[in-house]
Chains A and B, each alone.
Chain A
Amino acid sequence: MVNQEDISNHINQRTISSLVQDKPGVLSRIAGLFRRRGFNIVSLAVGSSEISGLSRMTFVVEGPGSALRTVADQLKKLIDVVEAKDITDKNIVWRELALIKVNSNKKNRSEILELAEIFRVNVIDIGVSNLTMEITGGKEKIDSLVELLRKFGLREVIRTGRVATLRGTLIEGKSDGEFQYQTKSGDDLSETFFESGSV
């Protein structure tokens, strides 16, 4: 039994991982669905997946309480969506990438590079008056670097959406051979990789 109250009361953002047909118009179908159900896309990452002809889309969506819980099920109803999973409550690892172009000059360059060192950031371009660094990590890590660099003068911050995947901490146990992942709350949740799309 799903305890819907627990979910709807304290979370208004969900992370959805989906596999979709690589066809024209698919993104507009998905964006339209979010719009008409009153959901807002916080971040979106699209790219080709491990299966040819299918793209992987990772969304972070926010919206009103209990309706948001149905996002993945709503998505699955779209014919071009092959698979959609709400992985918010699962044990996931997720990353964002950001390119940050910051003002720099002779005087402060070493200070900026020191920060880059601490954050384990790659500097990918250095110009006379600015430099560009590449950072991957969680939202908080990127947020704090952006804040620290602000005093030097930010020229441009370009962030991708969140990409996420389930952690591979396989737990032995279920006889049906399904993979199991442990959630934060300690519940075992079965997860087949290619769920049948419900209609």
Chain B
Amino acid sequence: MTSRYTGAEIVCKALINEGVDVVFGLPGGAILPLYGVLSKFEEIRHILVRHEQGAAHAADAFSRSTGKVGVAFATSGPGATNLITGLATAMMDSAPMIAITGQVGRSAIGTDAFQETDITGATLPVTKHNYLVMRASDLGETIHEAFFIAKTGRPGPVLIDIPKDVFTEKAEYIGKKTISIPGYNLLSNTTIESVDNAVELIEQSKKPAILAGHGVIISNAYSELKELSEKSQIPVVTTLLGISSFPENHVLSCGFPGMHGMAYSSLILDQSDLIIGIGTRFDDRIVGDPKRFAVKSKKIHIDIDASEIGKTVKIDVPIVGNIKDVLNQINPMISKNNRSKWLNQVLDLKSDHPSLEIPKSDHLLGQKVIKTLSDITNGDAIICSGVGQHQMWTAQHYRFINPNSWISSGGLGTMGYEVPSAIGAQVGNPGKLVWSICGDGGFQMTMMELATVKENNLPVKYAILNNNHLGMITQWQGLFYNEDYQAETYTGNPDFVKLAESYGIKGLRVNNQDNLVDVIKEANSHSGPVVVDFVIEKVDNVYPMIPAGQSVSELIEEQI
């Protein structure tokens, strides 16, 4: 005899059955019945955010940094629409997450009721799938199906919209059953022929390069990637989100390519005769002009999503499948190689195009901050970032050694991701050192979450690279818009130290290079949260740079 529960109770029970022990959320009218039962379920820790966007980003970063599925709660209407940026961020970067939104009562749906939004309609393009659950009896199955969809295949966000009176309706809940979705088949699509073809190309290649993307991290294929690279002596270039899929202190590690990547990384791809794209979507920030991208090389593309194959660049050997499984098929078939000639050429490229030299300056430079932080932490920290110059400097100058230690909004490029994502990463990794590298622009988009940080005493260290500018905008207007600087200077920035202190958070400031090391060490040794205001040089461009839509031949290596 199964028991009857309210819809809200079924939601909590199903979440617990999925192993959920923390949710990020903010209540409102339509979701109040769910909050009304939360106290009965002590297994679920609720972290109250200050804006629903923060809940979505925190859940997303929780997922990325733990491999579990993060959960966000929001109410109907504005609560739900505030999630959208977070859902789109997760969707673009294939991060699994579950968003549960309250909806107006069933009889009010479609009447333009107070706080009503068609959130399933609105989130169609930014979710992997979504549901409007009209019966409490469907809730359990829907939630389990949603988790299954979110975390399997190419992961992504799933939204479940639940009308207020479905939360209070009673129904049976029989627990988690086997999930079967017609057409959603996770059996391997990898063909033996494609693996054979790939192996043949790798064996024939004189100058192969691996382009490792986020898929390697999602698929947990670090050791498989390393095995392929070491066995066949193939240099590994990572994408921006592929950073931390391969240890950067490894001799075969060759940085990240593209718009603001290392010059040598782009040149290695350009000069190679074979690119093995693994879990990457050959994004426009890497490819630039598809007609001129790595024209001398053949391309193997391994990805779980068949629709990514051939989307931007022509692929010679497509392999559709889970990265880990595919590499496990390929690796035993590869023979050992030393490729000394090609690796010498790679070394020459690295020494001829150093790319990471920090310009001489009496002022504090963002690059210097990141380099120092990297040295002090020995690369042993989880690093979150927002979007812009600080993100590129972090990707360039922080030396990532641990798998999956880089959490950044790559695809959508969401400014403001830095503050709440660090919350999610810290909640998911309580013992770990989490540094969030922020721009002063992005920080102010989500800095209300400092209250969440304080309330939960999360020991996140926020580093604001503060130049009172939207630095990347300044850079682009300077380079491509005739130095017509518009709306890129922030003259109203708060005193970030006082701001932190007003939340009861330790605030520190670094004005010049003299106290840089000491302050970073002080922040590291503080047991609670810290905000460090790094007052950096006002105008300083990120180099190297390949302008949008261009190729490696337009590469600008340094300040002219």
B307 within 8 A of A: yes
**Total A-B residue pairs with C-beta atoms closer than 8 Å?**
75
Residues facing A in B106-130 (CB within 8 A) are 120-121, 124-125, 128-129
A1-B197, A77-B307, A79-B129 as given contacts; A196 in contact with B187, CB under 8 Å = yes
- Complex CA distance for A139 and B277, rounded to whole angstroms: 42
B487 within 8 A of A: no
Please encode chain A, from 49 to 81, with 1 for each CB lying within 8 Å of some chain B CB and 0 for all others: 000001000000000001101100110111101
Cβ of A135 to closest chain B Cβ, rounded Å = 35
Cβ of B291 to closest chain A Cβ, rounded Å = 12
- Complex CA distance for A164 and B315, rounded to whole angstroms: 30
Determine whether the beta carbon of A77 is less than 8 Å from that of B183: no
Tell me which of B146-154, B206-214, B412-420, B470-478 binds A. B146-154
Residues of chain B within 8 A of A78, CB atoms compared: 129
Which of B125, B182, B305 has a CB less than 8 Å from the CB of A199?
A: B305
Determine whether the beta carbon of A25 is less than 8 Å from that of B305: no
Determine whether the beta carbon of A2 is less than 8 Å from that of B184: no
Please encode chain A, from 130 to 153, with 1 for each CB lying within 8 Å of some chain B CB and 0 for all others: 000000000000000000000000
Determine whether the beta carbon of B129 is less than 8 Å from that of A4: no
Which of A69, A77, A79, A198 has a CB less than 8 Å from the CB of B320?
A: A198
Cβ of B310 to closest chain A Cβ, rounded Å = 5
Residues of chain B within 8 A of A102, CB atoms compared: none
Please encode chain A, from 1 to 41, with 1 for each CB lying within 8 Å of some chain B CB and 0 for all others: 11011000000000000010100010011001000100000
- Complex CA distance for A36 and B314, rounded to whole angstroms: 22
Which of B128, B182, B310 has a CB less than 8 Å from the CB of A66?
A: B310
A1-B316, A29-B124, A77-B305 as given contacts; A21 in contact with B310, CB under 8 Å = no
Which of B149, B305, B315 has a CB less than 8 Å from the CB of A198?
A: B305
A77-B307, A81-B183 as given contacts; A199 in contact with B124, CB under 8 Å = no
Residues of chain A within 8 A of B184, CB atoms compared: 79, 197, 199
A112 within 8 A of B: no
Chain B residue, CB-CB nearest to A25: B120
Cross-chain pairs A/B with CB under 8 angstroms, 24 sampled:
A2-B310, A2-B318, A4-B314, A5-B314, A28-B124, A32-B124, A32-B125, A66-B314, A67-B311, A70-B306, A70-B309, A70-B311, A74-B307, A77-B307, A79-B129, A82-B183, A196-B187, A196-B189, A197-B183, A198-B304, A198-B306, A199-B152, A199-B185, A199-B305
Closest 9 CB pairs of A and B: A199-B153, A196-B185, A82-B183, A73-B307, A197-B183, A73-B306, A79-B129, A70-B307, A198-B306
Q: Give me 4 other A-B pairs in contact (C-beta within 8 A), A77-B307, A197-B183, A198-B185 excluded.
A: A1-B317, A73-B309, A76-B183, A79-B183
